[in-house]
Each structure stands twice: as structure tokens, then as C-alpha cells.
Amino acid sequence: MSVQMAARPNDDPLLRVEGLSVSYPGGQPDQQTIHAVRNLSFVIAAGETLGIVGESGSGKTQSALSLMGLLPETALKAGSAIFAGRDLLSLDDGKLNQIRGSAISMIFQDPMTSLNPHIAIGRQMSRVLERHQGMSRRTALKVAAEMLDAVRVPDAADRLRQYPHELSGGMRQRIMIATALLCKPQLLIADEPTTALDVTVQAQILTLMHDLQHELGTAILLITHDMGVVAGLCDRVLVMRDGQMRECGSVNKVFYESQDNYTRELLAAVPRLDEVQPRRLAVVGDSEAEATADIDSRPVGDTMLTVDKLEVRFSAGRPGPFRPVQFLHAVAGVSLELGRGETLGIVGESGCGKSSLARGVLQLVDVHAGRVTLLGEELGMLDKQRLKQRRRQMQIIFQDPLASLDPRMTIADIVAEPLHTFFPTMSRTRQLVKVKAILERMGLEAGYMNRYPHEFSGGQCQRIGIARALIAEPELVICDEPVSALDVSVQAQIVNLLMDLQQDMGLALIFIAHDLAVVRHISHRVMVMYLGRIAEVADRDALYNSPRHPYTQALISAVPIPDPRVERNRDRTLLAGDVPSPLEPPSGCAFRTRCPLADARCAAETPGLRTAGESLVACHHA
Amino acid sequence: MDGGAARLDAHAHTAQNRTMLSFAFRRFLSAIPTLLILIALAFALIRVAPGGPFDTEKQIPPEIEARLNEAYHLDEPLYQQFGRYLTGLAQGDFGPSFQYKDFTVTELIAAGFPVSLKLGGLAMLLALLVGISVGTLAALRQNSRTDHVAMAAAMTGISIPNFVLAPLLVLLFAVTLRWLPAGGLGDGSLINLVLPVISLALPQIAYIARLTRGSMIEVLRSDFIRTARAQGLPGREIILGHALKPAMLPIVSYLGPATAGIITGSVVIEQIFGVPGLGRYFVQGALNRDYTLVMGVVVFYGVLIIMFNFLVDLAYRWLDPRVKL
Ligand code: SF4
């Protein structure tokens, strides 16, 4: 993507929003009114891309929904949004319906739930054209097929007969985009359009949006939390926090000369893929840089965990009288070693088996083949009783902090649970002393002990989850996407906390994430997985600076970098297509269906791991 | 390239047809044990009940009873009777009626079923039409007066049994207002069926309305409805084009139990309104210990319900393409 700053007629903007406010009055007298958006003003010129960024609760999505008249009925709107001489905020549904889907259209985050699973794609698309352009269904379907072609959906005509569940996430989002563009809108509102997608697919979709904008001249209002996406795609940015605008300006101005504290802190809190940050991640609202916990100052001790050719498989569906059980090989022979105090990062897209690997190592799922040895003991050989004892030494932290905490237990009981299990004779008083100490270590007040999980924010819940994992002093902790559900500023705090704890307690960490930048920041070594196998393992810097496997290279080049100048001048290796279904992995090298280097040998022979440069790589041609 | 795509497509279609066929075949196989269990249970229950088919107030001479028992094979051990019955069934023969001496059970079913089918079919149609409309309306006006009234009425409809409801309706519309006939088929015109159909349908209407309301409210909250609104589709089109199909899923699942409910209901209703349908034969048969007739009706309805459930599964698959057969 190159920098695009064409001159645009600025006197009459496409959309002028002034004093937009959205509030939700409390139903009961004792409930307070929630102000989701306060006094927001901005303009969008024809053909430009304005990004609205902010963390959760910043009001960015509420603003967009209010423009489309999609807010719940309880919402109160104020202000004006003038589009083509009409105020969108005061139009009734009937008038709005002439604009929605035709002059302004919108795409949403999750292309699975946003498309109707019960209706064929062609029908969903043709309805829009029949309604807005009075076309017959036949013509509408023809136009729909052409539009699918334009968003690079292969075999467009066949797709029209299919249902959303038959297509991959990336395809579905292309179909969403095609549907939104059917009536050649002047403004496209995109609400987190790539957040639910894998990073290589995100890169395809972003490139597509960029190209389409050039072809069609559609203005885009892009709502996102991802600074990297903004850096690549937007002309101007509007930063929001707590319903208010913090700053608005050209991308370069906001990224390089921001006048706003919050914006600067937010940018600093994002870990970057392209540079090592030998420092704690900056924390929003706390600009004092603390003592560094540089990764390289965390010493790595001797090997404590060995995983040898681990295989985990699940039966997919019941066996029928005429159908054998089908197996999904989630992990197909993975070996690794981990030293005391070391962090191994595991990255890969959905379906790569990273979470199954974690569960296999912890013996939380049936291990089909292979050995896991923790501190000299082979876990698969232990009886139930012994394994239970060993669980004290290995703990897991989950992605969704709230869901993993029992809503009916107090924080003290939740955190003390492992003590009950592993030290049944410990007195209640002693337990509470320990709970209090660890909560304090997590930066939580001791006064929280008698409260319940729902009273806490996502970040606090994750701290509670970490406290529970660490209270019995484990030696190995597996973090399964521990920060993926958190906002950038909270993510930075949790990552810092984990690194500090590791240093204090000498923990060995396996850190699973799909965010390559966070993994780079926290890991000593990084392993890239694809469809249940290792693609590449290497020391962190070797992997990121000189990736050897074509998949690693593509993955790294697909991650947007929150720096407009860097981001717009990168050479991208765009991968075609999506990750194949793990139920039917390709023969030979699993990556060959998307690999730019694939040849006949790749289809015939599964590459083993071998040394190339500083990496271990599974590729014939690396 | 194009040819390849077409081939792929054709391939996909035959594959789909094949899964369809294998599904039908699997369902057929799995229906056999279900049916056998049903027959065995009915057979056992009816023999456990006290009394025999030829018990009347008048004492029959023992030798005649013995002859009768022999003629109808009632002197054989039970397992032989059962075997004989199954063999007959396999040839479509439900056996002779014990009570209506000149008819076979097959003939009785053939006489009664069309009447019952008309009654039950109309009741079902009415239940679906009214139930779905009322439920949808209530969902669209959630928490309004319309909603509250409709749901209160539905709750009442569910709680009043039809043997209470039917006489009340007769009292009101036939006896007091004299709008509609009170019973019998009269000249066979539809007006005679109005009251029986309504009595049969009302509880189902109530239940279907509640089901529809709940599932419609849930569907209307989903993301794809928001997408449809963002596409500028008007409300009517969103309901009919996007929401109705998914909202019908629970209704379709309920069709099985609903049919069973209508069949059992018809037994009572036919009795009350004097409609000469299968339900009446069933009740008469049960009172007279007409083993073969009662068994015949049970087996006939069993097969019907199993077939119907198969159709329901197909409908479900059409409504929700994600369902694998
Ligand atoms: S083995 Fe072949 S297909 Fe696999 S990554 Fe290497 S070049 Fe690509």
C-alpha cells in the first residue's frame, strides 16, 4: 500500500456530524444515565478514509450505529449528521431505508453471524438490489455475481447458490463487502471489519478495501481498535475515549506529532512487530517508565519440559453404520523443549492446533501418541493420583477471564481453590494470608476478596485468573491467548505483569497468541504452527528478523505495523486463500495450497524439521 | 476452467442427493425397531387388561367361546399370536375385527381415516396459520398491550383441556347462538367440522403462538437482522425474507409432538362431536376389547407419526442448511 493523499474538494463534505451524543437513560430512578457518545463532531469528505479508533467503551461503534439508525430503541440521540442535505439522526425508518444499503452501507465485525445462515448468498444479495434499484431477481443475481467477481471471490456464480456456513471466514467477509457495495454507496461504514479474521486473511481484506476504494471512490468510515490497520488504510484518524473525541487529524499528524496524552500513551502501549522494545510496555495513564524487565535479563535455566512427537486428535462427528469415525488431527507430532524461566511463544492462525497442543501438554485432553516429560517424570505414565499432584506444577491461564471464573464464588474462594486441592491440610487463615499476598502482587486490593467476578473489568478478571494459576507456585504456566480479549492498554499491563512474575518466580511460560507482536515482545523463542505441525522454531530475533519458512514470512508480512510511513512502504507477500480445513489437510506439506514456492515435491513429501540458518524449519525449499 | 467448475458443481449435487438417499435409508432402518417395540408394547398392554373380547352381559356357552377363541387363534400361546400378527402386518393385513364381524380392521381404518385426516389436517393448518401470525405479531409488539393480551390468551388456551373446551364451545355456538351444528357430519359439508376443528386446534394455536413469539424475539436480536436493517430493507421484508425461516425452526421441531397431540385430541373430540373418524373406532375398540382394531389403529398411527417425523427432519434441513443429515 502506498501513501494516498490526493487533493479532495473539501468545501462540501460528504457527511458532517455535529454535536453527536448518544445516551441511555437508566430505567429505574437509581440508575444513572450512560453517556455512550458525547458531543462528537467530524466530517468525511467524498472518497476519503476516516478511522475512528478507541478501546472498548470509547463509543466508536455507538457513533457508527447512530448514523445508520441501528441503535436500540432505548437510546437517546442528539446533534445532527448531515448527509446529502438530510439529517440522518432525525429521519424516520422509511426515509432512512432509502439511504441505508444504497448511499451509505455498513459491514460488521463477524461475517459469520452478520450473514443470514438460513438463506442462500445470492438471495441475500439480490434482495438489496431489488429493493433499492427495482431490479428483477434475475438481473439482480447477475449484478451480484459481477460484484463477487470484483471482490475476487472465485467462481462467483456458484457462490450465489451456497450458504454462508459453506464458506471460510475470509470469503464471508468478502461477500459482506460485495453486498455493501452493490448499490455503489458514497460512504461505507466498516465496524472492525477484520477483527474476527486471521492475520493473513486480514491482510487480503485490507488490501481489497484499499483497492476498491480506488476503483469506486467510496468514502470509508473505518472503526477499529487496531492502530496498525489505521496506519495502513486511513487518511485521517479520530481518537475516542469514554465517548469523547481526544484528537482528530491526518494519520501522520496523529501518529507522529500527537498533541494528546492519551493518544501518545495508546500508541506507546502497542507492542511492535518490527522492533524489539527492551522495556516494559508503556502503560496508559502512567507515563513514568519503570525499571526495565528486558527479556534478555531473564536467565534461562536447564530443561524442565520435554514434549516428544505429541499427537492430539478428536473424533469429528459420530460414526454412522456406513461411515467410519473421522478424526481431526489437531496436533500431528509436535516436539519441543522448555527451560526454567524460559518463555516459548506459539503463534499460528485458527485451526493450527496451538490450543490443543497446550491441552495435550497439560494432559487435559487424551493424548493420542507421544510423550510429555515434566521435571523428569513422564506424565502419560502417572496414575490419576500422581497426575493430580503434578498439576500443582503446571497451570493454565485462559483467554476469556470472566468465563473461566465461577460467578458464584468470591474472589478469595476462587483464588484459594488450588490450595484446597493441593494442600488440603492448610488452615483457612493461612490460605487467606496467601490469597491476600498474591492479590496484592497482582496489583489488586485485598478488599476485593469478598466480591464476585462480575464486579470486575476484563483486565482485573485476568489478574484474578493469574493469581489463581500462581498461588500454588507452579513451575510451568501455559497462557492460552491471555490478552486477546483485552484492550491495548490493559494488555500492556498484563504482559508486563507476566514478565515480572516470571522473573520473580523463575516460571517457565508457554505463551500462545495469534498476535505476533505481543509474542515477539514476551518470548525467548517462538514456534510457528500450521495445521497441527511445526512450521518453524527459532530464537525470537532470528525468527522475526530472518524468517525462513514461507509461512512465517507471510505471517510476519501480514501483520500491520502501527507506523504509517513504515506500513505504507512495506512489501507484502499476500497469501492466497484461507487455512484449509484440518479435517482434510493437504497431502505432503500442509502449507502447499497457499505457498508461493510449492512444487511437485511439496505435494508428495511431508517436510521434516531441519536446520536452516538459525531456525528449525519444516520446508523443502527454505 | 469453466467445464471444471461445472463438473465440480454437478459433483456436489449428486453428492447431496446421495446423502439424501442414505439419510432416508438410515431413517427407514432405524424406524423398524421403533415400530416393533411399539407393536409389542401395545400387544402386551392390551392383553394385560382384564376381560376378553367376547365378554358380554350374556353368558356365552363355553363350547362356543372355545370355538370363537380357536377361530381367532386366541387359544394359542401369546408369542404365536404375536408372530401371526406380525406376519399379517408385513402383508398389510391388520386382521379381522372382533366386534364388527363383517369387516377387516383394514377396511375400518380405510373408512375412518379420511374423516380423521380432514379433521386433524384442518386443525393443524389452522393452528399453524393462526399460531404463527399471533406469535409473530406479539414478538413485533413486544411488551405492548397486544403482546400481553395475546400471551395471556395463549396461556389460558394451553391450560384448558379440550374435553372441557369442546362442550363450552358447543354450548355457546350451537346451543345458545345456534350458529353452528352441535355434532355429527350432517350432509358432510365443512360447516359441520368448524367446531371440532377449532376445539382441536385451540390448544395447539396457543402453544405455537408462544413458541413463535419466543423464537422470533430471539431471531430479531441476531446480527444478521441488524445487517438486513443496515441494508435498508423495510420491516415486512426483514420479517418475511430474513427472520421467518430461522424463527420457524422450533415450530418445525414441535410439529411431531403437535401431530401426536392432535391425534390424541381427536380421539376425545370425535367422541364428543360424534364424528365417525378413526378416533371413535379406537375408543369403541378399546371399550369392546376389540384387540385387532385397537392394535391396528395404534400401529397405523405409529407408522404415520414415524413418516411424519421424517418429513419434519427434511423440512428442518431445508430451513437450516447447516444441519447435516
Ligand atoms: S515444503 Fe513446499 S509447500 Fe511447504 S512450505 Fe516449503 S516450499 Fe512451501
Residues of chain B contacting residue A317, judged by C-beta atoms under 8 Å apart:
324
Q: Among candidates A60, A293, A5, which has minimal Cα distance to A189?
A: A60
Say if residue A296's pLDDT is above 70.
Answer: no
Question: What is the rounded (10 degree) CA torsion for A585, A116, B4, A576?
Answer: -50
Tell me the per-residue pLDDT of A591-606, one tens digit each, with 9 for 90 and over.
999 998 989 999 998 9
The CA distance from A398 to A333, in Å, is 24
Give the whole-angstrom CA distance, residue A555 versus residue B47.
74
B322 contact A CB<8A = yes
Task: Decide the pairing of beta strands A525-530 and A508-512.
Answer: unpaired
CB A602 within 8 A of CB A269: no
Contact A248, A230 (CB under 8 A): no
**Burial of A198 from C-beta contacts in 10 A (0-12 / 13-18 / 19+):** buried
Query: Smallest CA–CA separation between A68 and chain B, in Å?
Result: 7
Cβ of residue A602 lying under 6 Å from some atom of ligand 1: yes
Is A117–B246 a contact, with Cβ atoms under 8 angstroms apart?
A: yes
Angstrom CA distances, B8 to A86, A158, B2, B14, B22, stand at 49, 10, 10, 10, 21
Tell me: pLDDT of A320 over 80: no
Ligand 1 atom nearest A622 alpha carbon: 6
How remote is the CA of residue A473 from the centroid of ligand 1, in Å?
A: 42
Q: Which B residues 290-319 touch A at CB under 8 Å?
A: 319
The 10s digit of each residue's pLDDT in A401-456 is: 778 888 889 999 999 999 988 888 888 899 999 999 999 888 888 888 888 888 88
Give residue A277's pLDDT. Answer: 59
Count the Cβ atoms, other than its own, within 10 Å of residue B58: 5
φ, ψ dihedrals at A343, nearest 5°: -115, 125
Q: What percent of chain A has pLDDT over 90?
A: 42
| Top-ranked range on mean pLDDT: pick from A135-144, A287-296, B293-302 | A135-144
Fill in the amino acid letter for B277.
G
Give residue B94's pLDDT: 78
Spell out which residues of chain A touch residue B222, defining contact as CB-CB under 8 Å: 113
pTM score, whole prediction? 0.81
Answer yes or no: do B237 and A131 touch at CB < 8 A: yes
| Nearest CA-CA partner of A490 in A459, A444, A453 | A459
The total number of residues shown for chain A amounts to: 622
**Helices A121-133 and A169-181, packing angle to 10 deg:** 10
Is-contact B286 B147, C-beta < 8 A?
no
- Is residue A28 scored above 80 in pLDDT? no
**How far does the CA of residue B245 sit from the closest CA of chain A (Å)?**
7
Cα separation values, B6 from A145, A328, B10, B17, Å:
16, 30, 6, 17
pLDDT at A172 over 80: yes
pLDDT band at B1 (very low <50, low <70, confident <90, very high): very low
User: Is residue A228 predicted with pLDDT exceeding 70?
Assistant: yes
Q: In what order do the strands lie in the sheet with A76-83?
A: A34-44, A15-24, A76-83, A86-87
Ligand 1, from A548, A597, A599, A617: best to mutate by most atoms within 8 Å of Cβ? A597
> How much is the CA Rg of chain B, to the nearest whole Å?
25
For residue A180, give the chain B residue with the closest CA: B231
Q: Using an 8 Å Cβ cutoff, are A422 and A387 in contact?
A: no
Distance CA A605, CA A589 (A): 7
Burial B287-297 (b: 16+ CB within 10 A, else e): ebbbbbbbbbb
* Model confidence at A565: pLDDT above 80: yes
Higher pLDDT, B8 or B63: B63
How far apart (Å, rounded) are the C-alpha atoms in residues A282 and A203? 27
Is residue B37 helix, strand or coil? helix
Inform me whether the pLDDT recorded for B257 exceeds 90.
no
Mean pLDDT, to the nearest integer, of A287-311? 68
- When pLDDT is averaged across residues B287-303 and rounded to a whole number, the result is 83
pLDDT at position B8 over 60: no
CA-nearest residue to A93 within chain B is B234
Torsion sign, CA atoms B132, B133, B136, B137 = negative
**Residue of chain A minimizing CA distance to B223:** A114
Residues A246 and A223: their CA atoms lie apart, in Å, by: 15
Beta-carbon contacts of residue A34 (< 8 Å; ≥ 6 apart): A23, A24, A26
A280 band by pLDDT with thresholds 50, 70 and 90: low
Burial class (CB in 10 A: 0-12, 13-18, 19+), B322: exposed
How far, in Å, from the CA of A1 to the mean position of ligand 1? 27
Is B12 a residue whose pLDDT tops 50? no
The burial class, CB within 10 Å (0-12 / 13-18 / 19+), for A40 is buried
In this prediction, residue A223 carries a pLDDT of 94
Q: Which residue has the higher pLDDT, B61 or A525?
A: A525
Give the three cell numbers for residue B231. 441494508
pLDDT at A362 over 80: yes
CA–CA distance, A575 with A203 (Å, rounded to integer): 9
- CB of A612 closer than 8 Å to CB of A548: yes
pLDDT at A127: 93
- Give ∠ CA A437-A439-A444 in degrees, rounded to 5: 130
- Dist CA B88 CA B43 (whole Å): 14
* DSSP-based three-state secondary structure for A515: coil
Domain boundary assignment for chain A: 2-110+186-269, 297-539
C-alpha of residue A589 to centroid of ligand 1, in Å: 6
Q: Is A619 in the pocket of ligand 1 (CB under 6 A)?
A: yes
Q: Residue A158 and residue B5: Cβ atoms within 8 Å?
A: yes
Question: Can you give the pLDDT at residue B9?
Answer: 41
A468 lines ligand 1 (CB under 6 A): no
Averaged pLDDT for residues B177-199: 76
Distances (CA, A) of B234 to A36, A45, A186: 27, 29, 21
Residues on chain A touching B229 (C-beta within 8 angstroms): 68-70, 100
Q: Where do runs of H (alpha helix) occur along A391-457? A: 411-422, 428-441
A94 pLDDT higher than 70:
yes
B309's grid cell: 417425523
Among A134, A132, A218, A147, which Cα is nearest to A182's? A147
CATH 2.30.30.40 is the classification of domain A297-539: no
Architecture label for domain A2-110+186-269: 3-Layer(aba) Sandwich (3.40)
Write out residues 175-234 of B within 8 Å (CB-CB) of A.
Answer: 222-224, 226-234
Q: Average model confidence (pLDDT) for chain B?
A: 81
- State the ipTM, two decimals: 0.80
Query: Which structural domains are found in chain B, ordered by start?
Result: 113-286 (1.10.3720.10)
Asked whether the predicted pLDDT for residue B46 surpasses 80, the reply is no
Among A190-194, A275-279, A294-298, the range of highest mean pLDDT:
A190-194
Contacts of residue A123 in chain B, CB cutoff 8 Å?
241
